[in-house]
Structure 1
Amino acid sequence: MSHLSKSELTKLQQLLEERRTELEQHFSSNGAEDSLLGDSLTLSTGELSSVDNHPADTGTETFERSRDLSINTSLSEELTDIEAALQRIEDGTYGICEISKQEIPYERLEAIPYTRYAIEYAPASQNSGVRPVEEEVMTPPPSGAGQGRQEHSGRFDDAGAWEAVEDYGSASSPVTPPGQDTEEEDS
C-alpha cells in the first residue's frame, strides 16, 4: 500500500463507501435483492391471469423480469466486490494485484475502486470472442445475398422519385394501372 498516499487511499475508500450506500439503497428500495423476481408471473405483475389479451404483453413482462434479474445479479456482484475491497483496505492489501502482486496504479483504482487486478492481469470479458451456439447449426445465406441491395440503395432518393411512383396513384387520386389511359385523357 506504500504507493498510495493517505489522501488517495481516503478518496478511494470514500468512493467505495458511497457506491456501497447507493447499491444498498437500490436493494432496500426494491424491497429485496430479487424482489418479486422469484414469484410467479401472475403474482409479480398483479394480473389475474398470465394469459393476457395479447401474447406480447407476457413477452414484455418476461423480458422485463429477466432484465431486472440480470441487473440485480450484476449489482449484487459489484456490492460483494466493494465489500471485499473495503476489507482489503482494513487488511492493508488494497491496491495490490492478486495475480502478479504488483501495485495497481492509482488511476485504475480511481476508475474501478474495487478492482483486484492490474490491467495486464484483469480477466477477459466472459463474452469476448464467444459466438452463440446457434451459429453452429445455422445454414449460411446463399452466396451473393444482399449484394444487389447495396448496389441499388438510394435509387429513389432523388428528385425523380415522385415521377417514378406517380402513375400508381395517391391517397387523393384514383389508381389507374400504368400505361392505361382514362376516358378523360382520350377526349
Structure 2
Amino acid sequence: MDKKDLAHFKELLLAERNSILHQFQVNNSFGLDENLNDSIGELTSYDNHPADIGTEVFERGKDIALQENERHILDLVDEALQRFENGTYGYCVTCHQEIPKERLEAIPYAKYCIKHQTNNEISIQRPIEEQFLRPPFGRTSFDGKVNETEFDGEDAWQTVARYGTSNSADYFANAMDYNHTWIESDEPDGYVDQIEGFLVTDITGSPSVDHIDVVRNEVYEAYIKSHEGEEGIAEIHIDDKNENEK
C-alpha cells in the first residue's frame, strides 16, 4: 500500500471518528443521561402491568444498543489509527496478510481479512451463561443419553414450574388440569418404560402375577389408548374381568 492510499484511509478513519463524536454531542448520549421516569413524564416506572410502558422500555433498550455500537466502532477506529503509528495498518492481525483495499474502502477500521473475520465473535458483549444453554439446559441435560436417569437441569426447572410460571393457563391448551401447566409435564416421572407407571408389586418385587396390581392412573389410560403391548393389555383385562366376577 503506497503513501497515497494510506493517507486516503487515514482520512476516512478521522472522518468516521469525528462523525461518531458529533453523534454523541448532538444526540446527548442517545438520551441515556435522562432518567426513564423523566423521559416519559411518569412518577414511577412501576405500573399495574409491565406492558404499560413496553414501548418506552423497548426504545430505551434500542438506545443502549445504538450507543454501545457507536462506542465499539469508535474503539475500532482508535485501534486502526494506532496501527498507523506502528506501521501495521492494512494487515490482518491474525495472519498478517494484506487486507484488500476494497474491504478497507468499505470498512476502513477493519483489522481482519475476510477469512479470519468469520472466526471472531460478532457480538462484543454476551452473558457467560449462554455457554451453558446449548443444548437446552446445557451441560446439565441428560436427555437422549443412554443409561442416564439423573436429575438434570430440565427436571429442576419442571419441579419449580409445578408451582406456577409467568405463562397463563391458556398457554397450555392441552393440559388436563393445573398440575400439567409446565413444559413436558407428561414426561415420565420416576420411571422409564410406560408400563412401570401403573404396574406395582409387593415389597418383595415378586414377578408373579398374584403379586402384581394395576393402578388405573393417567399413565394407564395413555398406555391403553396407545395399544402398546396388546398381549399384556389382554391379560390385564382378563384379570379385571375375573376380579369383577368374584
TM-score by length of 1: 0.59
Higher relative contact order (CA 8 A, sep 6+): 1
**Secondary structure in 2 matching 1:81:** helix
How does 1:39-78 map onto structure 2 within 5 Å?
39=35, 41-51=36-46, 56-78=51-73
More helix by proportion, 1 or 2?
2
* CA separation of 1:33 and 1:104: change in aligned 2, threshold 3 A: same
In the alignment, which residue of structure 1 is the partner of 2:108?
113
Find the partner of 1:11 among 8, 13, 21. 8
**Secondary structure in 1 matching 2:91:** coil
Contact 1:109-1:115 within 8 A present in 2 as well: yes
Deviation at 1:72, TM superposition (A): 0.5
Q: Gapped runs of 5+ residues in structure 2?
A: 124-129, 137-153, 155-182, 185-246
Aligned residues: CA RMSD: 2.9
* CA separation of 1:87 and 1:34: change in aligned 2, threshold 3 A: farther
Contact 2:20-2:70 within 8 A present in 1 as well: yes
* CA separation of 1:33 and 1:58: change in aligned 2, threshold 3 A: closer
In the alignment, which residue of structure 1 is the partner of 2:85?
90
How far apart, CA to CA, are the structure 1 residues paired with 2:84 and 2:22?
Answer: 23
Contact 1:96-1:116 within 8 A present in 2 as well: yes
How far apart, CA to CA, are the structure 2 residues paired with 1:47 and 1:61?
Answer: 11
1:55-107 deviation line (CA, Å, top 9, x unaligned): 54411000000011011101100001001111111221101111111111111
Q: Gapped runs of 5+ residues in structure 1?
A: 140-187
1:16-64 deviation line (CA, Å, top 9, x unaligned): 1111111001111232377326x4x213333233256985441100000
1:135-181 deviation line (CA, Å, top 9, x unaligned): 83777xxxxxxxxxxxxxxxxxxxxxxxxxxxxxxxxxxxxxxxxxx
Give the counterpart letter for 2:58 in structure 1: F
Find the partner of 2:18 among 21, 41, 50. 21
Bigger radius of gyration among the two: 2
Give the counterpart letter for 1:30 in structure 2: N
* CA separation of 1:67 and 1:15: change in aligned 2, threshold 3 A: same
Q: May I ask how many residue pairs the two structures share in their alignment?
A: 132
Runs of 4+ aligned residues of structure 1 deviating over 6 Å after TM superposition are none
Give the counterpart letter for 2:104 in structure 1: L
Identity of aligned residues (%): 39
